[in-house]
Chain A
């Protein structure tokens, strides 16, 4: 983007472009130092999502942990958490307590030592196993892991045999074995043997105990040899060992034997039982040693649920709170809706004023200035009485004094209804209360009141609408939005286009929201932004809500008919015949500026299209000769903007003999431009006449003369005419009119 090819008009001898920036792109605009750095509103610290994103997470984590732990203890696995698994079926059926095996003195004797208490101390008869048993390298539980993998087949007289594994019970088909009593044949699984045996090695002695068909069962593969504890005859003494000291192998002890659970089952038919058990083990393979359980999911689930609940609860509550607050119709204090009855003027304690500009920046009308580091009231006549300055003063140096009663103010009730013509409402600047924000509030407020009033009076007759809104500025749009929301039938007539007063702001002007803690009710959007952003936003709202705005239609007059309806005469702006509209209520949101003040001379028809009352885009006047009449802020800004265009010649014509009004910044810039010869400034100059080619200006003494100034465009910026005439014609009287004014103004044609 060095843009060499894009600088065709580089003047001879001048340097080529180093960098170019597309000024329509807001981010590239930073390359243009023309933006004024100083803001008028302060940024307030906000909590961004960076800061809030982990709020409640710590609490949620703690709650999640507690929930999971609680769930795990409330719903423990069978056998409790300490158990490595559930007890095997025979043990469970025997109703064993933990303490039966796990003795209090477990330090001295392992639970595995307790087996002999019931089963009798008979170990394996295989020499290898017996040796290991003796050395305690092997225990009963090595092959019979009671909690984890103890399998077997239980035969009961008159019942079907049951093949069991931890957590699994399957009835098997009747075998050839009909036990005379309950008999359980335990099945050892490969999992218990593989620590010593090579399972897949054909030469390993264990190979003869495995079924090749069950290889796929893995650790759950049953060992099909049952002669581990075999003795020659049931009556033979069982090989015994002292569980406390296995090295002392003792000869068979009948007492031990009779006490053992196993001895009762070592009967003559045991070979048949083994065969049946083998058959059952082969026929009913138990792959999953343990059945999947829902329990862990409950623990995990409750942990997650606790976590999510806290997060959702805290965030949801915050969201709802925010929503509730934003939905709640703000109770707007009356002083925010009606202008003050008396003139109010700031007074400044120079002994405490710190000269911080807070009041200067808060004032929308530049009433205040800072001189010698102390604020002064520079333009008391412009004070609107809103006293934003007093709210912003950081140390109370600025106080408000009340003055005389303001006359130029429509007589309004708290509902913004005219006290002289019921049914006629006012909103926006026309009420005497300035600021876009207030206009928005008033528009919505007035329509809410109209809605209440409309419920009391009869409905619409014929083609009349409920509400006719005159003017589509901030108040008018806000009112239309509220009317639509409330279901009133309405129409908005606008002599220009939507939000034209804002469209007429100079390009890029910052529209700023007053720093007030005041809820902007209704959907109309307002925050510090450029004119273009604000306008785009509003136009989008108008488009999206499909507001019934009739543009380019001027209101000629309003009067109240005998049937209580209002009759509004309108005409299209660009010619055409007048028409009549009827409405039950009328809301005048016509602004304060009304129409721009015109020059008190005749303007020939052929030059009318070259006489302007506002400057929308200075760029289109590049290379032209322009005359600006007036020297207020608007006039000065216009002259400056025009003078900044290439090859423009600008003259400023002003009646006064010096700069008397306007902001210091504008005055300085203008003086500089006059010094540079970009602007010619004529003081004490009165416009005599306008001809197609030139304007005649008489200049009062000293230096009295007549000038003929050529022009391509004339900008008349000598303020506006307050819309009092329109208001009076509509039957609205101002406070200054007094009580004695008659109501005849209301009659048609007045």
Chain B
């Protein structure tokens, strides 16, 4: 498959614009289609696309012949459906967002025009010929709906006549996230079938949203009220953009008359699915609630960037590497936390969802881009072509997670031509480093905490909900690597240090000659080795391999992580050799002793930082509800206080008294955050503890009047956690700078010491 190229080529041949779908469009529309689309050349036998691929483009044959092949029902292999010749179009299923139903293979040497559907729709819509696209879509929809009905357990058994009747009655409706399909109390006018997307059935009581069912492709809903009469008992809302089929009540009743057992089987299916969903969500309510709250996001994400908070050392090297490579960091390490079981591992992991493109199944940005600057690879990577981006911001507004930002365009960057203005801005977002072998952020992580996954298959609970086969791709081998490095280097370093120190104490070794001198040389080389770690780590381009063709299937791994472990091992060995070379003591008036001292100091800081890296993230993850950067804490505190004020207003006197007597002192306690860190409790455990404490004091009094107390408890616990987070974050991040500074000293003194030693020695 070709990548859509933004390069301006020769004007397209007339045969393309003579095609039925494009006939009569104006000059401007032609230009737009030409610049956003591409002319692709295929030799005989080459594949244009394969059945099952995702696609946002359709094709018009400019020259040659393309065979469309598909597996017919009951057949084993593909057979030819039709041959598209010059002027014919194919691949139109992309206009309704469906996956390719056929494979397209060149019969002769061919040239085909690849046209992004969204640009086509705009061009033709502006020309006032929107009905062309609509007619095309209607026909495609009907056949897609028939396919859907034929695969559903419920309707599969119906005779073709009933299905045709149903097809005639069905109306296609699209809903955006948040649109209400029907309201509680409304009249039941139709029954709905989910063709695509996610719908939730819910009720709202007293500021609490109760979700009663999640419905996805193939599920019917709204049937009970239509058959039993009465008003709607629940609200149905679109969790995400979805396409629904509505069957008018009359048509549905007619269908039920013909097939009286239909309602029962509908009920049974719904109940089965409810029991299944309840089992999944109820198994570990504390964990799954995270997932289900963000279900929409996790459902549409194809490749979600996550950071394992219990391994992330908050160094920010991921964002730094991104900035280093692209000038603007497309990754902001802020976001919500979800707890999920990934792959086969049974232990739930705290995962941060940083703001970075998640390459949605149906990207809202791609649909909204007016110039077709946003494209998608066959393997699903969504990317922005700077040469077409006008900087209008439509994509950034469309993205529900603010994963697209506007940035100043670099002076030499490509930009659209032909129009007057400067196009000062450009939209930037993560494209998974599509021109490299693996993403920079993943490669640059020193602990391997950041990785990409496909939530609906790789998060165990979601895979179960969506009935998908669980993929083990996300399984990360919990590498014993670092401990092997550390233990073996320590085993080597300790005897070296001890033997060296003893021999020197006995006067056998001297720093100036023999073994003592050799130890010094090894230590010096070690210091150079330690210094070298900082170099590739900070030269992103050095370890980013340019991609050559299709990316290999293997999961991207961190390249810095092994280097980091090597750095630790070299550090331990070098420490051993340096002790063998010269005694650890306060510096005397020589470069050597000052070097020895400063190296010890930097080793100490390094060891402390390493200890912090291995112990703190896990503790920090326990008391985080969303990951924050150091600069966010002030606003976070304000937001919490605002919520506190809002929550407390209008509550009962009892709640106010509890707040004043228990919660306020709890929040103001100076040592509270420290105690929280030391206790090692999770936020939820802390909340439960506090709540138990309050209940113990109240001895069961209060009852109704305690409404709203749990939100207050949540807020005060978070308020207590905030300074603790801040402190732990500071501990994690402060050591490194001191380590670098003292290392600089050691490096400087090493230079002096080596010069002196060279001059001293014959």
Contacts and interface: CB of A to CB of B under 8 A. Distances in A.
A associates with B: yes
A159 B293 CA distance: 93
Interface string B592-611: 01100110000000000000
Nearest to B291: A19
A324 interface: no
A413 interface: no
Given A3-B210, A27-B626, A395 B390 contact: yes
Interface stretch (A51-59, A456-464, A691-699, A712-720): A51-59
A517 to B, nearest CB: 12
A290 B204 CA distance: 82
Given A53-B316, A296-B593, A373 B122 contact: yes
Contact of A77 (B239, B402, B590): B590
A48 B631 contact: yes
Contacts of A31: 209, 211, 292-293, 295
A81 B590 contact: yes
Contact of B752 (A13, A46, A81): A81
B208 A20 contact: yes
Tell me the dominant secondary structure on chain A's binding face. Answer: loop
A334 interface: no
Given A51-B316, A57-B740, A81-B752, A45 B711 contact: no
Nearest to A644: B183
Nearest to B337: A27
Interface string B21-63: 0000000100000000000000000000000000000000000
Nearest to A57: B740
A38 to B, nearest CB: 5
Interface in A301-359: 303-304, 307-308, 311, 351-352, 354-358
Nearest to B233: A11
B289 interface: yes
A50 B749 contact: no
A37 B364 contact: yes
Contact of A396 (B319, B419, B747): B419
Contact of A44 (B407, B416, B507): B407
Given A27-B625, A64-B741, A358-B394, A19 B293 contact: yes
A45 B428 contact: yes
Contacts of A80: 756
Nearest to B27: A351
Interface in B155-207: 176-178, 180, 182-187, 189, 200-201, 203-205, 207
Contacts of A21: 208-209, 211, 293
A357 B205 contact: no
A322 B480 CA distance: 47
Interface stretch (A221-229, A498-506, A593-601, A669-677): A669-677
Interface stretch (A114-122, A264-272, A532-540, A604-612): A532-540
The residue among B212, B390, B733 with the most chain A CB atoms within 10 A of its own CB is: B212
Nearest to A167: B589
The residue among A40, A69, A107, A293 with the most chain B CB atoms within 10 A of its own CB is: A69
A295 interface: yes
B512 interface: yes
Contact of B278 (A18, A83, A110): A18
Interface in A69-116: 69, 72-73, 77-78, 80-86, 106-107, 110
Nearest 6 CB-CB pairs, A to B? A50-B316, A293-B589, A356-B392, A68-B748, A296-B587, A676-B186
A677 B210 contact: no
Contacts of A536: 642, 645-646
A30 B507 CA distance: 72
Contacts of B333: 48, 50
B292 A18 contact: yes
Contact of B125 (A6, A61, A372, A533): A372
A381 to B, nearest CB: 26
A53 B733 contact: yes
Nearest to B733: A53
Nearest to B182: A676
Given A17-B211, A30-B293, A24 B421 contact: no
A656 interface: no
Nearest to B271: A15
A355 B370 contact: yes
Interface residues of B, number: 140
Contacts of B122: 355, 373
B745 interface: yes
The residue among B180, B270, B594, B625 with the most chain A CB atoms within 10 A of its own CB is: B594
A47 B326 CA distance: 13
B320 A107 contact: no
Nearest to A362: B393
Nearest to B336: A27
Interface in B743-762: 743-745, 747-749, 751-753, 755-756, 759-760, 762
A77 B749 CA distance: 13
A297 B208 contact: no
Given A2-B282, A27-B625, A357 B316 contact: no
B726 interface: no
Nearest to A86: B589
Nearest to B295: A31
Interface string A356-384: 11100100000000001110000000000
Contacts of A40: 397
Contact of B390 (A24, A293, A394): A394
A352 B748 contact: no
B594 to A, nearest CB: 4
Contacts of A195: 506-508
Given A77-B590, A675-B189, A361 B397 contact: yes
A20 to B, nearest CB: 5
A24 B629 contact: no
Contacts of B438: none
B741 A358 contact: no
Interface in B317-341: 317-320, 323, 328-330, 332-334, 336
A725 B554 CA distance: 74
Contact of B323 (A6, A47, A86, A537): A47
Given A33-B239, A51-B320, A18 B213 contact: yes
Given A48-B629, A50-B329, A24 B207 contact: yes
B613 interface: no
15 contacts: A2-B289, A20-B210, A30-B296, A38-B398, A38-B400, A39-B396, A45-B428, A46-B332, A51-B320, A67-B748, A192-B507, A303-B748, A373-B126, A676-B183, A678-B186
A17 B214 CA distance: 11
B647 interface: yes
Contacts of A137: none
A43 B590 contact: no
B183 A643 contact: yes
Contacts of A557: none
Given A31-B292, A677-B186, A395 B419 contact: yes
A51 B428 CA distance: 16
Contacts of B397: 38-42, 357, 361
Contacts of B733: 53
B420 to A, nearest CB: 5
Interface in B262-307: 270, 274, 277-278, 281-282, 285-286, 288-289, 292-297
Given A290-B588, A307-B744, A677-B186, A35 B714 contact: no
Interface in B623-666: 625-626, 629-631, 638-639, 642-643, 645-647
A346 to B, nearest CB: 16
A677 B200 CA distance: 22
B391 interface: yes
Given A11-B233, A361-B397, A51 B323 contact: yes
A51 B281 CA distance: 38
B211 A20 contact: yes
A24 B711 contact: yes
B177 A395 contact: no
B393 A356 contact: yes
Contact of B512 (A84, A392, A540): A84
